Amino acid sequence: MYPIDTSRTDLAREFKKNPFGPHSAELQRILNRMRWEPLKGKFVLVCTKPHKEWILAELPGERGKPITMHHDQVFTSLADAEWVVFKRRWKRITGQELAVD
């Protein structure tokens, strides 16, 4: 597994600035690790208003089970959603808060 070096906040800033890429090779490796989560609990966005509004959600990882919605995490920009998920995954994997706003 590609390690995430918590001192490399420069890579986090790179992602925040340009969430849809293309990314530097080092950032892409981090993203590959973050995005290759197991299905159970994997972050997705549920579209609530077509092309306008999305809610953070987690996959059940099992057919027939409901998607878990985070109704307090509503986005009107896909870039904002990517950044919130990036920060959550950073913490999930490294155990440390990402000290970048």
Partner 1 sequence: MQTKTIVGYADQIVIAPGETIAFKVSCEPGVADYRARIVRVVCGDDQPAGPGLKLEPFPAPAEDTHKARHQPIRTGSWISVRAGPALARLESVTVQAMIWPTTVAKGWQGLLGWWSEPRECGFGLFIDDKGQLLFAIGDGKGKPALLVSGKKLVDRAWYLVAGSYDAATGQTTLIQEPVECFPHVDDAATVCATVAKNYVGRPDAPFSFATILTEQGGGAVTAGAMFNGKIDAARVANRALDRAEIERLRDDPAAPSLRAAVVAAWDFARDMAGDRIVDTSTNRLHGTVVNTPTRAMRGWAWTGASGDWRQRPDHYGAIHFHDDDLDDAGWATDFTFTAPQGLRSGFYAALVETEGAEDSIPFFVRPPRGQATAKLLFLVPTASYLAYANFREALDSENAEVMTNALSIIGADMMYLNDHPEVGLSMYDLHTDRSGVAYSSRLRPILNMRLKGPLWQYAADTHVTEWLEAKGIAYDVVTDEDLHAEGVDLLQRYTCVMTGTHPEYYSTPMLDAVEAYIHRGGRFIYTGANGFYWRVAFHPDRPGIMEMRRAEDGSRSWIAEPGEYHMSFTGELGGLWQRSGRAPQKLVGTGFIAQGFDMSSYYVRKPGSFDPRAAWIFEGVGKDERIGDFGLIGGAAAGLELDYVDRKHGTPPHTLLLASSENHTDSFMIVNEEIGHNYPTTLGRDHPNARADMVFFEMAGGGAVFSTSSIAWAGSLAHKGHANNVSRITENVVRRFLDPKPFAGA
Residues at the interface with partner 1 (CB under 8 A): 19-22, 25, 28, 31-32, 35-39, 42-51, 54-55, 57, 59-60, 63-64, 66-67, 78, 81-82, 85
**Smaller CB distance to partner 1: residue 46 or 100?**
46
Element (H, E) at 25: helix 25-35
Q: What is the Cα–Cα distance from 22 to 55, expressed in whole angstroms?
A: 25
**Smaller CB distance to partner 1: residue 47 or 99?**
47
Q: 5 to each of 11, 15, 55, 61, how far by Cα in Å?
A: 10, 15, 29, 29
Question: Cβ 62 to partner 1, closest distance in Å?
Answer: 10
**Smaller CB distance to partner 1: residue 63 or 101?**
63
Question: Cβ 43 to partner 1, closest distance in Å?
Answer: 7
Question: Cβ 17 to partner 1, closest distance in Å?
Answer: 15
User: What torsion, rounded to 10 degrees, do the Cα atoms 99, 93, 67, 48 define?
Assistant: 30
Q: First-to-last CA distance in the chain?
A: 26
**Smaller CB distance to partner 1: residue 89 or 98?**
89
Beta bridge partners of 47: 54
